[in-house]
C-alpha cells in the first residue's frame, strides 16, 4: 500500500516553510549576507514566542522588519541552520530586510495554548486578554528596542493559515507597522473557506488536513519527517464512500481527532464559527494592505474577497488593494503560473506578480521607494489572459444579467416564457457524482479547471448551454444561482457549475503534446482532445436545508417548490466568441463534499439507513425562472 502526502497538505506546510520557488531559483547565498539569531520574545501575559531573526551583515544602512507568523514551524531550528530563501521572493533577500519568523502560540517551540483561528478580543480588560493582534504588537515593540540597525518600520505577510495570522495581527496596528500582505487568508471557515461551502462539509480536504495537523506537547521540535496518513488505497472516492457516515472517520485518527471533530460536528453557523469570523473585527488598521488570492484556490478563495471588502468598509483612510491571479493555493509564491492542468494562461503570471506588484509594494511602504501606483484591484482575466486594473471590485460598470434555464438544455440571457416546465433527476447517495473523472486520493489542484464532459453524460446531472457565442462575454464578480426546486426527500444539496465549452476544433493542449507528460500523470489526468473541452470556471455546493438560515436549518416538504438562492465565489472570465457557456446542476460532488443523506437530520449523526434516493426537480418557467445571476462587462473595459 502506498503512503501519499496530498498536494494540498504540502501547500499548507511549505507555504510558511519557504520552499524554493521553482520560477525564482536564487543564486544568492543567504548565509554569506545574513546572520541568524533566535529569541524567545515575551508577550504581555508572560508567554514567550520562539522567533528566528535574520539580520543583514551589511551594517552601513538600516533595514525594515518583514515578519511571518506561522503554526507550521519556522524551522530549521538552531542559529547555524539557515533557510535557503528568507522573503516572499529572492528580490527581498537581495534588497535587504530584517526577516522575522515566529512560531505562534502553542505551536512547536512557542509557549502557550494553541487555539484554532484564535478569536479576536475587541475589548481587552487586562494583560491576560491576548490574541494575535496583541502578540504582533508586543513582538514589534520588542524588535524595535532590541534589534539594532532597524529603520523603525515593520511589515508582515503570510499565505493560508499564516495569511490569517497576518490579517488577525494587524488589527489595532502598532504605529511602526506600515505594510501587510494577507495572502489566501482564512477569514470565515464556515462561510466559504476551508471547512464549509454553502453549508456542505469539504470532506476530502478537511480529513486529509487534520490527519496531518495534530495536537502536540509544548514546546517541542517538529519531527524530522511527517508521516502521512495511510489511506490504504489511492482511490479517495472509494475510501470515503466505504467509510460511511463522516463521523466514522474520527476513529481512524487514533485519538488525534479533536480538530477534525470540531470542524465536522459544528455543522451549522453556531457560536463556534461566529467567534472565529475575523471579518467584523478588521478595524483600527493603520498600515497599507495588499490582499492576494488565486482564482483556482481550492482552500481559501473566499477569504481574500471577504478580507478585502471588510478592511475597505472599516478602514476607509488606508491604502487597501486586492490582487487575484490564475493561481492555486499559494501558487503565486511557488510557481510560474503559466497554466493549470490544460487551462493555459500564456505567461509567467507568478513572476509578474512577485516582481511588479508584491516587491514594489513593500519597498515603497517600508523603505520609501517610488510609489508603484497600484490600482484598487489588480486582477487577471482568464479566457483572454490579460491583467486588468480596476478602481473597484467588482468593477462598477458591470451590468447585472441572468443566465436563465430553458427546456431542452438551453441556457440564455432571455427569461423563459413557458407557463410551466421542469427537469428532474434521481440523486442516489450510494452512487454520488465524482468531482473529477480520474482516480485521486486528495483534492487535485487542477480540479477547479477540470473537464466536465464526464458529468454531462450522467443521468443525475442537468446540463444547460448557450448557442455558440457570436461575441465575447466577460463575467466579473460573484456568480449567484437563483433556483426554483423541489425534492422528494427532506433535504438535498444543489451543486452548481459554470463551465466554458471550447469549440470542437480547438487545438490540443501543449501539455498533451509534450513527450514528458509527468505533470499530467502525477495527478492521473487522462489524455483527451481539447476540442469540446468543458472547463470548469466556478463550482459551488449548497446544502438546501440552509436556504433560509445557516443558523437554523429547515427540512423540505417533499414535492413543495421552494427557492434556493446563494452566492458562489467571484470570477473574472471571458467566454470567447466561438465558445459556449454551460451550467450543470447536480446534488452530490464527492468526495469534495460530504454526502447529503437527503433525509433532514444532523448529518454527523447519520446512520447508513438514513441515506436514501431522492427525485430532484429544477423548474424553468415564467413564474419560476431558475437562473444564474452574473455581472457582465461592456465590450471593452479596464486598463490592461
pLDDT of residue 88: 97
DSSP assignment of 47-114 equals -EEEEEEEEES--SS-EEEEEEEESS--PSPSTT---S--SSSHHHHHH--EEEEEEPTTSTTS-S--
Q: Which neighbouring-strand residues pair with 474? A: 574
Convert the pLDDT of each residue in 323-332 to its tens digit: 999 999 999 9
Please say if the pLDDT value at position 20 is more than 50: no
- The alpha carbon of 493 is separated from its chain's Cα centroid by a whole number of angstroms, namely 21
Q: Which three cell numbers stand for residue 170?
A: 494587524
Dist. CA 122–CA 71, nearest whole Å = 23
pLDDT of residue 256: 76
Q: Which three cell numbers stand for residue 111?
A: 509557549
pLDDT of residue 551: 98
Q: Which three cell numbers stand for residue 379?
A: 486582477
Q: Which three cell numbers stand for residue 293?
A: 488570492
CB 433 within 8 A of CB 588: yes
Please say if the pLDDT value at position 298 is more than 90: yes
Among 301, 322, 324, 298, CA closest to 310? 322
Return phi, psi of residue 313, to 5°. Answer: -70, -40
- For 470, other C-beta atoms within 10 Å of its C-beta total 7
Q: DSSP code of 599?
A: S
The number of C-alpha atoms within 13 Å of 105 and in the hemisphere containing its C-beta is 23
pLDDT of residue 215: 78
DSSP assignment of 307-373 equals HHHHHHHH-TTS-EEEEEES-STTHHHH---SEETTEE--S-HHHHHIIIIIHHHHHHHHH-PPP--
Give me the mean pLDDT over the 94-112 stretch. 97
Mean pLDDT of the chain: 92
pLDDT band at 517 (very low <50, low <70, confident <90, very high): very low
pLDDT of residue 212: 83
pTM here is: 0.94
- The alpha carbon of 330 is separated from its chain's Cα centroid by a whole number of angstroms, namely 9
Domains in the chain with CATH codes? 7-188+276-390 (3.40.50.1820), 399-632 (2.60.120.260)
Alpha-helix residue ranges (DSSP H) falling in 499-630: 510-513, 518-521
Dist. CA 422–CA 420, nearest whole Å = 7
Give me the mean pLDDT over the 295-303 stretch. 97
pLDDT of residue 15: 40
pLDDT of residue 528: 75
Q: Which three cell numbers stand for residue 215?
A: 495536537
Contacting residues for 542 by C-beta, under 8 A, at least 6 apart:
198, 199, 200, 481, 493, 494, 495, 496, 564, 566
248-262, 291-305, 527-541, range with greatest mean pLDDT: 291-305
Convert the pLDDT of each residue in 557-601 to its tens digit: 999 999 999 999 999 999 999 999 999 999 999 999 999 999 999
pLDDT of residue 346: 94
Give me the mean pLDDT over the 209-225 stretch. 85
Contacting residues for 164 by C-beta, under 8 A, at least 6 apart:
117, 158, 182, 185, 186, 187, 278, 303
Q: Which three cell numbers stand for residue 587?
A: 446534488
Q: DSSP code of 240?
A: H
Dist. CA 100–CA 37, nearest whole Å = 10
Please say if the pLDDT value at position 17 is more than 90: no
User: Strand 34-42 relative to strand 48-56: parallel, antiparallel, unpaired?
Assistant: antiparallel
Give me the mean pLDDT over the 599-612 stretch. 97
pLDDT of residue 284: 98
Convert the pLDDT of each residue in 154-171 to its tens digit: 999 999 999 999 999 999
Please say if the pLDDT value at position 9 is more than 80: no
Percent above pLDDT 70 for the chain: 92
Please say if the pLDDT value at position 6 is more than 80: no
Give me the mean pLDDT over the 359-377 stretch. 96
Q: Which three cell numbers stand for residue 210?
A: 487534520
User: Strand 150-159 relative to strand 177-183: parallel, antiparallel, unpaired?
Assistant: parallel
pLDDT of residue 564: 98
Amino acid at each position: 500500500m502506498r503512503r501519499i502526502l496530498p498536494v494540498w497538505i504540502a501547500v499548507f506546510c511549505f507555504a510558511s516553510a519557504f520552499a524554493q520557488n521553482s520560477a525564482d531559483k536564487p543564486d544568492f547565498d543567504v548565509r554569506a549576507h545574513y546572520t541568524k539569531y533566535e529569541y524567545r520574545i515575551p508577550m504581555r501575559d508572560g508567554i514567550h514566542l520562539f522567533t528566528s531573526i535574520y539580520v543583514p551583515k551589511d551594517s552601513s544602512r538600516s533595514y525594515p522588519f518583514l515578519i511571518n507568523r506561522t503554526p507550521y514551524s519556522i524551522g530549521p531550528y538552531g542559529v547555524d541552520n539557515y533557510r535557503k530563501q528568507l522573503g516572499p521572493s529572492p528580490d527581498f533577500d537581495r534588497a535587504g530586510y530584517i526577516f522575522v519568523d515566529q512560531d505562534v502560540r502553542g505551536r512547536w517551540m512557542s509557549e502557550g495554548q494553541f487555539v484554532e483561528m484564535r478569536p479576536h478580543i475587541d475589548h481587552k480588560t487586562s494583560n491576560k486578554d491576548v490574541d494575535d493582534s496583541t502578540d504582533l504588537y508586543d513582538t514589534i515593540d520588542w524588535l524595535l528596542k532590541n534589534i539594532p540597525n532597524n529603520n523603525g518600520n515593520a511589515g508582515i505577510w503570510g499565505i493560508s493559515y499564516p495569511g490569517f495570522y497576518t490579517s488577525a495581527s494587524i488589527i489595532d496596528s502598532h504605529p511602526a507597522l506600515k505594510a501587510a500582505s494577507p495572502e489566501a487568508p482564512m477569514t470565515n471557515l464556515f462561510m466559504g473557506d476551508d471547512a464549509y461551502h454553502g453549508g456542505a462539509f469539504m470532506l476530502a480536504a478537511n480529513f486529509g488536513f487534520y490527519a496531518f495537523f495534530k495536537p502536540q506537547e509544548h514546546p517541542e521540535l517538529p519531527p524530522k519527517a511527517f508521516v502521512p496518513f495511510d489511506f490504504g488505497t489511492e482511490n479517495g472516492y472509494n475510501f470515503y464512500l466505504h467509510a460511511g457516515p463522516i463521523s466514522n472517520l474520527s476513529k481512524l485518527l487514533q485519538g488525534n481527532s479533536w480538530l477534525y471533530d470540531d470542524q465536522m460536528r459544528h455543522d451549522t453557523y453556531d457560536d463556534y464559527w461566529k467567534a472565529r469570523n475575523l471579518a467584523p473585527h478588521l478595524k483600527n488598521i493603520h498600515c497599507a494592505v495588499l490582499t492576494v488570492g488565486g482564482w483556482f484556490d481550492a482552500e481559501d478563495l473566499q477569504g481574500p474577497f471577504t478580507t478585502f471588502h471588510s478592511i475597505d468598509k472599516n478602514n476607509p483612510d488606508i491604502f487597501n488593494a486586492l490582487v487575484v491571479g490564475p493561481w492555486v493555493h499559494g501558487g503565486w509564491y511557488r510557481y510560474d503560473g503559466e497554466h493549470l492542468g490544460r487551462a493555459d494562461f500564456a505567461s509567467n503570471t507568478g513572476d509578474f506578480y512577485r516582481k511588479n506588484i508584491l516587491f514594489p509594494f513593500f519597498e515603497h511602504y517600508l523603505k520609501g521607494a517610488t510609489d508603484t501606483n497600484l490600482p484598487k484591484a489588480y486582477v487577471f482575466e482568464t479566457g483572454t489572459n490579460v491583467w486588468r486594473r480596476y478602481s473597484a471590485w467588482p468593477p462598477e460598470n458591470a451590468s447585472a444579467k441572468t443566465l436563465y434555464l430553458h427546456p431542452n438544455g438551453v441556457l440564455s440571457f432571455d427569461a423563459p416564457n413557458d407557463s410551466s416546465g421542469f427537469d428532474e433527476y434521481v440523486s442516489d447517495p450510494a452512487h454520488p457524482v465524482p468531482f473529477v473523472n480520474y482516480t485521486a486520493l486528495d483534492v487535485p489542484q487542477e480540479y477547479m479547471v477540470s473537464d466536465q464532459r464526464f458529468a454531462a453524460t450522467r443521468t443525475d446531472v442537468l446540463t444547460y448551454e448557450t448557442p455558440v457565442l457570436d461575441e465575447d462575454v466577460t463575467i466579473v464578480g460573484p456568480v449567484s444561482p437563483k433556483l426554483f426546486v423541489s425534492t422528494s426527500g427532506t433535504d438535498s444539496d444543489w451543486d452548481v457549475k459554470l463551465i466554458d465549452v471550447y469549440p470542437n476544433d480547438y487545438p490540443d493542449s501543449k501539455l498533451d503534446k509534450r513527450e514528458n507528460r509527468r505533470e499530467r500523470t502525477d495527478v492521473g489526468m487522462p489524455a483527451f482532445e481539447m476540442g469540446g473541452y468543458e472547463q470548469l470556471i466556478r463550482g459551488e455546493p449548497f446544502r438546501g436545508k440552509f436556504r433560509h438560515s445557516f443558523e437554523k436549518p429547515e427540512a423540505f416538504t417533499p414535492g413543495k417548490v421552494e427557492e434556493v438562492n446563494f452566492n458562489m465565489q467571484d470570477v473574472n472570465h471571458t467566454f470567447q466568441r466561438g465558445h459556449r457557456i454551460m451550467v450543470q446542476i447536480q446534488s452530490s460532488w464527492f468526495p469534495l463534499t460530504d454526502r447529503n443523506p437527503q433525509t433532514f437530520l444532523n448529518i454527523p449523526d447519520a446512520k447508513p439507513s438514513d441515506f436514501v434516493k431522492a427525485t430532484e426537480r429544477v423548474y424553468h418557467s415564467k413564474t419560476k425562472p431558475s437562473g444564474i445571476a452574473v455581472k457582465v462587462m461592456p465590450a471593452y473595459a479596464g486598463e490592461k
